[in-house]
Structure 1
Amino acid sequence: MGEEKSVNNYDIVYIGDSSNSNDDHSISDPTIYFRNISLSYFAAEPFEMLTKHNRFRELCLENDNPEAHYIEGILQYFVHKEKRKGLYHLRQASIGEYRNGTYLYGLLLLALEHYPKGKKYLDKLQWKENLSTSDYCWKRVKKTLSTIPAIMETRYYTAMVNLEPWTECHPDNMAEVCKHCYYSKRLTQFVQFAMNQE
């Protein structure tokens, strides 16, 4: 039996499979299990964790699962309108090195006009060396946020305008960015997306 693929291409490991007697049983430690379990399904559908899987969400948060902090941050910030709690959980996701959490946390700090701190978090994704990580994170964050209605706030637009570079460097070209326009373009992407959610 061993491992096989499910219809969703996830690996299925059968419990009780004795084909390998040298298995590492550290996964039986609930702390490790809940801290490391992938929550990618819930990251794409955060309301599922809010409504149907509340106890599971609590266990993952209690054991510091970074992806659970990301989901909780989104739910607190955008659904419950508890901004401080939301930012706390997104920061915890970033501390746990969950890149989507780092990206969204940095983006929201920019949107709230905390520019130096927002830039610091976005810089953790090393966009100056390669934009692919930032691009991937934005794609994933956008997918998650597309399930949340009415995320736009007037102050995001104000922050975007205030962050625009003085010089017209690389207008409308996301592939061409520099230290003057990267943050502005990322925040503009977010604001335009948020406005279209209305």
Structure 2
Amino acid sequence: MGEDAYVNNYDIISIGDSSDSKDNHSNSDRTNYFRNLSLSYFAAEPTEMLEHKHLKELFLENDNPEAHYIEGILQYFLQNKRHNGLFHLRQSSIGNYKDGTYLYGLLLLALERFCKGEKYLDKLKWKENLSTSDQCWERVKKSLSDIPLGMNPGYHIAMTNLEALCKCHKDNMAEECNHGYYYQRLSQFVQFAMNRDH
């Protein structure tokens, strides 16, 4: 018993002894800390962040990309401030948050800003590997699962117009058509939104 107690006490003293600590907290960067801290719990459940307004503002002030993603969802879908929502999703993408890039690109497609939406979805390198896009879509669905989406009739029109772009390329086999990928992604979103409304 005496030896075990000695070992345990020694371990505790070593860990807690600040004089032996090699960490120097005087150089810690507050901005860097809040920018890089993971908010994955709140990204999966954005409405939970509504109870932590001060904390959310702190993360946004320090350009945390997940905080911008969360704020983008809240502004776009809950508060019906689409311009603000798109701004935050774009900031999320600029911060290299893949789910923010995916949702931003998807919403641009839904708003018939096809060229810009395609450009953002292309950042996920879907032509090389679809798994990143697939994983983003699964996480985005989780983020939106408790959010009232409200099926916008414009989304269905955008989907129809994007499908038409695919068809006009089918007559010219020499011209490669990538629109099928974007159409499929937009139709997934539209179907998800329609199912949520019923």
Q: How far apart are the structure 1 equivalents of 2:169 and 2:118? A: 20
Identity over aligned pairs, percent = 69
Give structure 1 stretches of 5+ with no counterpart. Answer: 1-14, 170-177
Does residue 41 of structure 1 match 2:41?
yes
Output the aligned Cα RMSD: 2.2
**C-alpha distance in 2 between matches for 1:162 and 1:147:** 29
CA-CA distance at 1:17 after TM superposition: 7.3
How far, CA to CA, are the matches of 1:55 and 1:17 in structure 2? Answer: 34
Change (3 A) 1:24 1:95: farther
TM-score, length-normalised on structure 1?
0.82
* Residues 16 and 145 of structure 1: CA distance in aligned 2, closer, same or farther (over 3 Å): farther
122-131 vs 178-187, greater mean Cα deviation: 178-187
- The Cα of 1:125 is off from its aligned counterpart by 0.2
> Is the partner of 2:146 in helix, strand or coil?
coil
Q: Is 1:94–1:101's contact at 8 Å kept on the other side of the alignment?
A: yes
Match of 2:79 in 1: 80
Quote how far apart the aligned CAs of 1:179 are: 1.1
Asked if the contact 1:26/1:32 (under 8 Å) is kept, the reply is no
The letter for the 1-side match of 2:167 is: W
Other structure's SS at 2:179 match: coil
Q: TM-score, normalised by structure 2?
A: 0.82
Going by fraction, where is helix more abundant, 1 or 2? 2
2:122 corresponds to: 123
Are residues 182 and 27 of structure 1, via their aligned partners in 2, closer, same or farther at CA, if it must alter by over 3 Å? farther
Distance 1:42 1:34 in 2: 14
Distance 1:139 1:17 in 2: 45
Superposed counterparts of 1:38-187, under 5 Å: 38-50=38-50, 52-164=51-163, 165-166=166-167, 179-187=178-186
1:191 is matched with 190
Distance (whole Å) between structure 1 residues aligned to residue 193 and residue 80 of structure 2? 15
